[in-house]
Chains A and B, each alone.
Chain A
Amino acid sequence: MPTHLSRARTLVAVLMTSAVVLAGCSAPSLSVLEWSGYDKVDFWTDFHTASPNTKVKFEFGSSDADILGKFEAGYGSTDIVHFYTGWQQFYVDEGLVQPIDTSKLKNWDKVPDSFKKMGQINGKQYFLPWDWGFTSILYNTDKVKTPITSWSALFDPAYAGHISMWDDGPGAVTVSAYIHGWDETKITPDQLATIEKEWTAQKPLNKTYWVSEFPDLCNGIASGDVWVAYDWQGCYAQTLYDGKVPVAYANPKEGRNSWVGLYGISSKTSNYELALQFLDDKLATLSCTNAVTQFYYGCANQDVMKAVTDPVLIKAFSLDDPAILQHTNFTPLVTSAQRTAWTEMWARVKAATP
Chain B
Amino acid sequence: MLGRRGSLRYLAVPPFLWLILLFVAPLLLAVAISLRPDSGPINFSRPWQLSTLQYQTIIDSPSWLRLLLVSAGMAFIVATVATLLAYPIAYFLAFRARERAGLYLVLLLVPSTASFLLRVMAWKLLLGSDGAINSFLIWIGVIREPIGLLLYSQAAVILTLIYVWIPFAALPIYAALQRVNRSHLEAAADLGSGPWTRFLRVTVPLSLPGVLATFFMVFIPTVGEYVTPSLVGGTGGIMFGNLIQDFFTRAGNWSLGSAMAVIMLALTLVLVAIALRVVNLRRALA
Contact = CB atoms under 8 A, between A and B. Distances in A.
A72 B64 contact: no
- Please indicate which of the listed interface residues A211, A344, A353 has the most CB atoms of chain B within 10 Å of its own CB: A344
Contacts of A101: none
A226 to B, nearest CB: 10
Given A209-B235, A348-B64, A350-B246, 8 more contacts: A65-B40, A169-B251, A207-B148, A208-B233, A340-B251, A344-B61, A347-B61, A347-B251
A149 interface: no
Interface string A158-192: 00010000011100000000000000000000000
B243 A350 contact: yes
- Please indicate which of the listed interface residues A69, A206, A348 has the most CB atoms of chain B within 10 Å of its own CB: A69
Contacts of B234: 206-209
B238 A343 contact: no
Interface in A79-101: 94
A39 interface: no
Contacts of B57: 344
Contact of B235 (A62, A204, A343, A348): A204
Contacts of A94: 43
A352 interface: yes
Interface in A58-76: 62-63, 65-66, 68-69, 72-73
B230 interface: yes
Given A343-B246, A343-B251, A351 B64 contact: yes
Interface of B: 39-43, 57, 61, 63-64, 66-67, 128-130, 148, 152, 230, 233-236, 238, 240, 242-243, 246-254, 256
B226 to A, nearest CB: 11
Contacts of B66: 351, 353
A351 B61 contact: yes
B189 to A, nearest CB: 53
23 contacts: A63-B251, A65-B249, A66-B250, A68-B252, A94-B43, A167-B246, A169-B251, A208-B234, A209-B234, A223-B128, A225-B128, A336-B40, A339-B251, A343-B251, A344-B253, A347-B64, A350-B242, A351-B61, A351-B66, A351-B238, A351-B240, A351-B243, A353-B63
B40 to A, nearest CB: 6
A224 interface: yes
Given A348-B64, A351-B64, A340 B253 contact: yes
Contacts of B242: 350
Nearest to A342: B251
A66 B252 contact: yes
Give the 9 A-B CB pairs with smallest separation, nearest first: A65-B252, A69-B41, A343-B251, A351-B67, A351-B63, A340-B39, A208-B234, A63-B250, A69-B252
B249 A63 contact: yes
A336 B233 CA distance: 30
A168 B250 contact: yes
A203 interface: yes
A327 B249 CA distance: 32
Contacts of B249: 62-63, 65-66
- Please indicate which of the listed interface residues A65, A73, A167, A337 has the most CB atoms of chain B within 10 Å of its own CB: A65
Given A207-B152, A225-B148, A72 B253 contact: no
Contact of A73 (B41, B235, B238, B243): B41
Contact of A72 (B41, B230, B256): B41
Nearest to B67: A351
Contacts of B248: 66
A183 B148 CA distance: 38
Contacts of B148: 161, 207, 225
Contacts of A208: 152, 233-235
A72 B247 contact: no
Nearest to A68: B252
- Interface of chain A: mostly helix, strand, loop or mixed: helix
B251 A62 contact: no
A165 B250 CA distance: 15
Contacts of A167: 246, 250
A211 B148 CA distance: 20
Nearest to A67: B252
Given A69-B252, A347-B243, A203 B129 contact: no
Nearest to A200: B63
A348 B251 CA distance: 13
Contacts of B250: 62-63, 65-66, 167-168, 343
A169 B236 CA distance: 17
A339 B248 CA distance: 14
Contact of B253 (A211, A224, A343, A351): A343
Contacts of A347: 61, 64, 243, 246-247, 251
- Please indicate which of the listed interface residues B43, B240, B242, B251 has the most CB atoms of chain A within 10 Å of its own CB: B251
A353 B238 CA distance: 11
Contacts of A211: 230
B129 A225 contact: yes
B227 to A, nearest CB: 12
A68 B42 CA distance: 11
A301 B57 CA distance: 45
Interface in A231-258: none
Contacts of A73: 41-42
A210 to B, nearest CB: 10
Nearest to A339: B251
Nearest to B238: A350
Contacts of B39: 336-337, 340
B45 to A, nearest CB: 9
Nearest to A94: B43
Contacts of A225: 128-129, 148
A344 B250 CA distance: 11
A57 to B, nearest CB: 21
Nearest to A211: B230
A207 B124 CA distance: 14
